[in-house]
Amino acid sequence: MHPRTDRPPFSRLWMSLALALTIGVLAAGCEDETTQPEDDSLVLPERSTPEALISSIELIYNDRTHGADERLAGYASLFDSSFTFYFQPNDIGDPPQSWGLEEELAAHANMFAAQSAGGIYSIELRVTHNPGIDLSPPQVGREGWKEIFVTNVYLRLMFNQEDGLEINGGQTEFLFPPAAEGRFRIAEWTDVPRPGPLRSGSSWGAIKMKFYNGTLPPAGRVFRRPAD
């Protein structure tokens, strides 16, 4: 009588291992499909800091892969419903000296649509700014607000590979109410002139006004890229 053993015959053991490996490979393949979906939607930084909103503006302006509607929706999400933009003094000549969220979004709807339609070849935006700080000096009714001062705005729009527009040296100030549910929004945006003589049409606001009016190219320094 042969002694009893709990070990399966070699052939059964081999088949069990082979089956386990096969199941493991299939499971890994399924996991890759379910845990790593392809998603090409526009993703913006979490709005947990005022600085994240400035980064989001840069990202949306520099984006080349998403449609105009998606970029506009992302841009709209950055602003408080009471948003006001203040133009640089003497920059656009005629009133208005400020506008609200409706006009801000209309200007950018035209900008993003123009790029999608090929009227703008490329947009490049770089914003250099100080860290967000408490509003200084404090203002009654604005307790807990934050501000960011932008020391330099570089904005280049190319209408084709040779011709375009460039703004370099702009300064702006952004104001943010206290975060609601952990998210900041932009409530005020002011173009600030640099010390010295004002240059008409040299600000971010002047560009936005031209897009709002539907006139291209926008005001600014139009240049032709030098030949190589």
Task: Please state which of the ranges 82-96, 118-132, 209-223 shows the lowest mean pLDDT.
Answer: 209-223
Q: Can you say whether residue 204 is alpha, beta or left, with left for phi > 0 and alpha for psi between -120 and 50 degrees?
A: alpha
Residue 133 CA to residue 148 CA, distance in Å, equals: 7
Q: What is the pLDDT of residue 167?
A: 87
Among the ranges given (39-48, 85-94, 151-160, 176-185), the one the predictor scored with the smallest mean pLDDT: 85-94
Is residue 178 scored above 90 in pLDDT? yes
The whole-angstrom separation of Cα 61 and Cα 204 is 13
Structure tokens at 219: 């005001």
Angle at 50 between CA 46 and CA 52, to 5 degrees: 40
What's this model's pTM, rounded to 2 decimal places?
A: 0.77
Domains of the chain (ranges plus CATH)? 50-224 (3.10.450.50)
Q: Which two tokens stand for residue 5?
A: 């053993």
pLDDT of 21 > 60? The answer is: no
Using the predicted structure, report yes or no on whether residue 168 has a pLDDT greater than 60: yes
Q: What is the structure's pLDDT at 91?
A: 67
How confident is the prediction for the chain on average, in pLDDT?
A: 80
**What does the pLDDT average to over 197-207?**
68
Peptide bond into 197 cis (omega under 30): no
Q: Pick 223 or 172 by higher pLDDT.
A: 172
Rounded-to-integer distance, Cα 215 and Cα 114, Å: 11
pLDDT tens for each residue of 22-58? 444 344 444 444 344 456 899 999 999 999 999 999 9
Distance in angstroms (rounded) separating the CA atoms of residues 46 and 48 = 6
Q: Which residue has the higher pLDDT, 38 or 95?
A: 95
Distance CA 160, CA 120 (A): 7
Whole-number pLDDT of residue 50: 97
Closest CA to 221 of 169, 182, 173: 169
- Of the segments 96-100, 198-202, 213-217, which one has the largest average pLDDT value? 96-100
